[in-house]
Structure 1
């Protein structure tokens, strides 16, 4: 087991098989967030936090677009069952403690996005000798940079005064989401022979 992607190809690029599987996972996670943000957006904004949903929708869409173009895709027969398990994991979970459906959906999105942006560190997998001009390498670094920015918005929403009455339910949902996302990420990397420390 290795802690990094590779070994690198003769031209210094990451193997297309690894690019494909890592990108497929990231496209699944960020694509799910983009779809759910699009569904959560109301026709008219009634609260300030809803404007952030709009901004996050476009950032998630940009991440998906970047990955689809920067990845050297190759056929991967194992992706079918893996992708099904990923897509099932991103589905909203009921929050019985919160009667307001719109608020519950926003909390689900924020906890999932927080887990994805905080729990997945794709650039940390890059070996130091990876080519900086490799589009996939540049994409992973860009995604990690954007994740740090997006994380701030989720923290502000989840710790905001509007959710104070639901603090226990929000904390439990956040912890559960982090466990799920970390587990799926580790399993996908293990399938490539990569081990990441907790």
Structure 2
């Protein structure tokens, strides 16, 4: 087992089976975020932090669209079962600590998005000799750049004044999301022969 994608083909491209499985995981995670951001969008913004939901919704949708087109897909029978476990993991957590349903939904979304954007570094899986002009390679690098930008919004919200009274609950939710996502991501990578520390 290796810590990087590969072995690359003669043109420096990632094996199609690895592309399929890694892209399917990323599409599941970013697709779940896009769906949940879309559902969380209010008809009218009443708080400043709600404007960020709109931007996040479109950025997550762009990531999914990019991966759909940049990946060389191959049949993978294990994806059905794996996708069910991933989708179950993205479901909202029970409401704890606040009676404000929309605020709790935003906390859940920000915690999940923070875990996805901070916990998954897809470009770090690429060997140095990966073909920089390959669409899949470029997509993984683009996703990592976007994740860094999106992460800033989650940090600002989760550390913002609206959540000061719920700081302990938010920290618990965030830690739980990170632990869960890290396990799913590492299991997915291990299934294609990649071991990450």
Match of 1:189 in 2: 189
Match of 2:180 in 1: 180
* Structure 2: distance between partners of 1:108 and 1:97: 12
Match of 1:36 in 2: 36
User: 1:21 Cα deviation (Å)?
Assistant: 0.2
Match of 2:81 in 1: 81
User: 1:95 Cα deviation (Å)?
Assistant: 2.6
Deviations 1:115-169 (A, max 9, x none): 0000000000000000000000000000000000000000000000110000000
1:55 corresponds to 2:55: yes
TM score, norm. by length of structure 1:
0.99
SS at match of 1:108: helix
SS at match of 2:58: helix
* Structure 2: distance between partners of 1:95 and 1:148: 28
Match of 1:147 in 2: 147
Gaps of 5+ in 2: none
User: 1:46 Cα deviation (Å)?
Assistant: 0.4
Match of 1:118 in 2: 118
Match of 1:171 in 2: 171
* Structure 2: distance between partners of 1:26 and 1:50: 25
What value does the CA root-mean-square deviation take over the aligned residues?
0.5
User: 1:98 Cα deviation (Å)?
Assistant: 1.2
Check conservation: 1:38, 1:57, Cα contact below 8 A.
Answer: yes
Structure 1 runs of 4+ off > 4 angstroms?
Answer: none
SS at match of 1:58: helix
User: 1:13 Cα deviation (Å)?
Assistant: 0.8
Check conservation: 1:95, 1:169, Cα contact below 8 A.
Answer: no
* Structure 2: distance between partners of 1:10 and 1:75: 22
Gaps of 5+ in 1: none
User: 1:10 Cα deviation (Å)?
Assistant: 2.4
* Structure 2: distance between partners of 1:192 and 1:181: 17
Check conservation: 1:97, 1:166, Cα contact below 8 A.
Answer: yes
Q: How many residue pairs get matched? A: 197
TM score, norm. by length of structure 2:
0.99
SS at match of 1:131: coil
